[in-house]
Amino acid sequence: MKKEYNITAYSENHIGLLNRVTIIFTRRKVNIESLTVSASAIKGVSKFTIVVEVTEEQVKKIVQQIEKQVEVLKAYYLSNDEIIYQEVALYKVSTEALIGGDQIEKLVRKHNARILEITKDYTVIEKTGHSEETQDFFNELNEFKVLQFVRSGKVAITRSPIERLSEFLKKRDEMLKVLDK
């Protein structure tokens, strides 16, 4: 049965890796719902967070293929219950709509959003939350004609104490030292 999975991959920062990782999904005809790449807690190591809707068997095979990439240090998959995650959404509305009454301000407060910038022509509002929350805010705010809307991919950390990457790297370095002797 298909389910939403979050693939996390830690890698060295090399040109072309993102392309090779996405080809793994293309070959399997798997759509990437969300992709976020950022620095990790370890200098020089990037963290990929990739959201897909597949079977567990498919996600296992994808993770195995990702780990075969030379620059990938470690990859694994988790369900939404096993992570803490957020997305950021930005909304651009006419400042005239904001000034025309207090309805937008009430919506901003109701949805725990915040106003980032106000100009004479437009106002930019930010909302952090799960995609359902940011979509609900969009639906209500769109009564005032949202001019632009964008939502980031998932940013996630694990709930459980998965083997820390630094511990994994330390074990790997110790094994390499033994093999070099």
Domain count, the chain: 2
Low-confidence ranges of the chain (pLDDT < 50): none
Are 28 and 79 contained in the same domain?
A: yes
At residue 181, the pLDDT reads 65
At residue 43, the pLDDT reads 82
Q: Are 54 and 7 in contact (CB under 8 A)?
A: no
Distance CA 124, CA 85 (A): 23
Are 7 and 18 contained in the same domain?
A: yes
Are 73 and 89 contained in the same domain?
A: no
Phi/psi of residue 109, nearest 5 degrees: -65, -45
Are 94 and 141 contained in the same domain?
A: yes
Kindly report, residue by residue over 15-67, the tens digit of the pLDDT.
Answer: 899 999 999 999 999 999 999 999 888 888 899 999 999 999 999 999 999 99
If one counts every other C-beta atom within 10 angstroms of the C-beta of residue 124, the result is 16
At residue 165, the pLDDT reads 66
- In one letter, which amino acid is 127? K
Out of 52, 83, 114, pick the residue that ends a domain.
Answer: 83
At residue 119, the pLDDT reads 96
Are 60 and 9 contained in the same domain?
A: yes
At residue 100, the pLDDT reads 79
Are 57 and 16 contained in the same domain?
A: yes
Alpha helices in 10-49 (DSSP H): 17-27
DSSP label of 80: G
At residue 141, the pLDDT reads 96
Are 53 and 88 contained in the same domain?
A: no
- Within 13 Å, how many C-alpha atoms sit on residue 139's CB side? 6
Q: Is residue 181 part of a domain?
A: no
**Closest Cα partner for 149 from 101, 87, 103?**
87
